[in-house]
Homo-oligomer: A and B are copies of this chain.
Amino acid sequence: GIAPAVHAQATIRWRLTSSFPKALDTIHGAADVFATSIKAMSGGKFEVSVHAPGELVPALGVVDAVQAGTVEMGHTAPYYFFGKDPTFAMATAIPFGLNSRQLTAWMYDGNGLKLFREFYDQYNIVDFPGGNTGAQMGGWYRKEIKTAADIKGLKMRIGGFAGQVLTRMGGVPQNIPGGEIYQALEKGTIDATEWVGPYDDEKLGFQKVAKNYYYPGWWEGGAQLEFYVNKAAYNGLSAEHKAMVENAASHAHTVMQARYDARNPAALKRLVAGGAKVLAFPKPIMDLAFKESMGLYEELNASNPHWKKIYADYSNFRRDQNLWFRFTEAQFDRYMQSAKL
């Protein structure tokens, strides 16, 4: 018999390298959700294999690998690459930035995605929002943080871009792989660490060695992940497969935030039962962090045209979002949070 043309069409097999180990099941899982959707929608004619860090590419090699076409896709937190250009950070989270819904709104209906498509073009990357953690916690501290003086000399494991703000506040950011944080905190080699939020933090057991659990994570009010697609690989896709990438990314984006939201509450309760002391950062600490963040952004505006262009749009959007959210969204939430439910 004659095989119909469609069966002769070769299956497209792509490789996606994730910056996140399988143990971070919500974040790593967003790439699995994406790949499962692509396979199902294409009837197996377009398959994306998901690889943990180190299988093909190191955790922080995602941009280089996608740029070079070593892999067709990556799933990462863009702010890891602030060393290449701090502009990357705005696609994940910057201190005192947009929250999860606001960042999604900026990407999908503001100028966010448009501006980042332009920015990423120099890296041969086409980006898609790929999940959000929601507002993260402010981390685990061996001692309570009561005044700005308590930040001076504080050795804290904290992600790169926010580390610049911590430095300006007098702290000492530390770069320690996830697997070594617990021991460093236990020994006192570091005074504090941030990670994500209850659901992920619980797995690492920090409450046993640094019980003061602060909020909010002012440097990550809504940390977005992105899917990166190599530009040539993307352009080689059919219109059908391009649309599948867009829709599967949106599905993964939605599912990942839903998983964090659904799973954090029970984890927080278990952490508190296990000895965690949940504390708000004092206002003077927040104010100092805010001042130093805005100071950093002014410097970047002056030194980096990519940053300046995107931050101008981002910061206008942020101002308007917070103007609006303070009314009905905040008041509804505040009432519910104080209600006897």
Q: Chain A interface (Cβ within 8 Å of chain B)? A: 2, 4-6, 37, 40-43, 96, 99-102, 104-110, 134-138, 197-198, 215-218, 221, 238-240, 242-244, 246-248, 250-251, 253-255, 257-259, 261-266, 268-269, 278, 280, 286, 290, 315, 317-339, 341
Distance in angstroms between the alpha carbons of A102 and B101 in the assembled complex: 12
- B323 and A40: CB pair below 8 A? no
Q: Select from chain B the residue with minimum beta-carbon distance to A104.
A: B258
Closest B residue by C-beta to A255: B108
**Across the interface, which residues of B come within 8 angstroms of A134, CB to CB?**
101, 329
Assuming the contacts A262-B109, A265-B323, asked whether A286 and B335 have C-beta atoms less than 8 A apart, the reply is yes
Cα distance A10–B16 when bound, in Å?
Answer: 34
Consensus secondary structure, chain A interface: helix
Known: A41-B41, A266-B320, A336-B322. A258 touches B331 (CB 8 A): no
* Cβ–Cβ < 8 Å partners of A40 in chain B: 239-240, 242-243
Given A6-B6, A266-B320, A325-B337, 10 more A-B residue pairs with CB atoms under 8 Å apart are A41-B240, A104-B258, A108-B254, A109-B263, A137-B328, A215-B328, A250-B251, A280-B331, A290-B335, A290-B339
Q: How far, in whole Å, are A142 and B297 apart by their CA atoms in the complex? A: 45
The interface residues of chain B lying within 8 Å CB-to-CB of A221 are: 332-333, 336
B residues within 8 A CB of A323?
265, 268-269
Report whether A135 and B99 are in contact in the complex, using a CB–CB cutoff of 8 Å. Answer: no
Complex contacts, A110 vs chain B, CB 8 Å? 262
Chain B residue at minimum C-beta to C-beta distance from A289: B335
Decide: B99 and A331 in contact? CB cutoff 8 A.
Answer: no
**CB-CB nearest 8 A-B residue pairs:** A40-B243, A4-B5, A105-B261, A108-B258, A216-B332, A265-B320, A4-B4, A109-B262
Distance between A103 CB and nearest chain B CB, rounded to angstroms: 10
Query: Is A333's CB under 8 angstroms from B339's CB?
Result: no
User: A251–B261 contact, CB under 8 A?
Assistant: no
Residues of B within 8 A of A329 (CB): 99, 134-135, 216, 333
Interface centre among A102, A244, A336 (most CB of B within 10 A): A336
* Cα–Cα, bound, A280→B43 (Å): 52
A214 to chain B, nearest CB (A): 9
Q: Which of A243, A248, A290, A330 has the most CB of B within 10 A?
A: A243
Q: Could you write out 29 A-B pairs with CB less than 8 Å apart? A: A5-B6, A6-B6, A40-B243, A42-B240, A99-B329, A100-B101, A101-B134, A101-B257, A104-B257, A105-B257, A105-B258, A109-B258, A138-B328, A197-B328, A198-B324, A215-B327, A216-B332, A221-B332, A246-B251, A247-B247, A251-B251, A254-B254, A261-B321, A261-B324, A265-B324, A268-B327, A269-B323, A280-B331, A330-B330
Residues of B within 8 A of A322 (CB): 333, 336-337, 339, 341
**Shortest distance in angstroms between A46's beta carbon and chain B's nearest beta carbon?**
11
Q: Which residues of B contact A253 (CB under 8 A)?
A: 254
A138: chain B residues within 8 A (beta carbon): 328
**Other-chain residue from B2, B261, B318, B327 in contact with A278 (beta carbon distance below 8 A):** B327
- Closest chain B residue, CB of each to CB of A39: B243
Option from B41, B106, B250 in Cβ contact (under 8 Å) with A254: B250
State the CA gap A100–B134 with chains docked (Å).
13
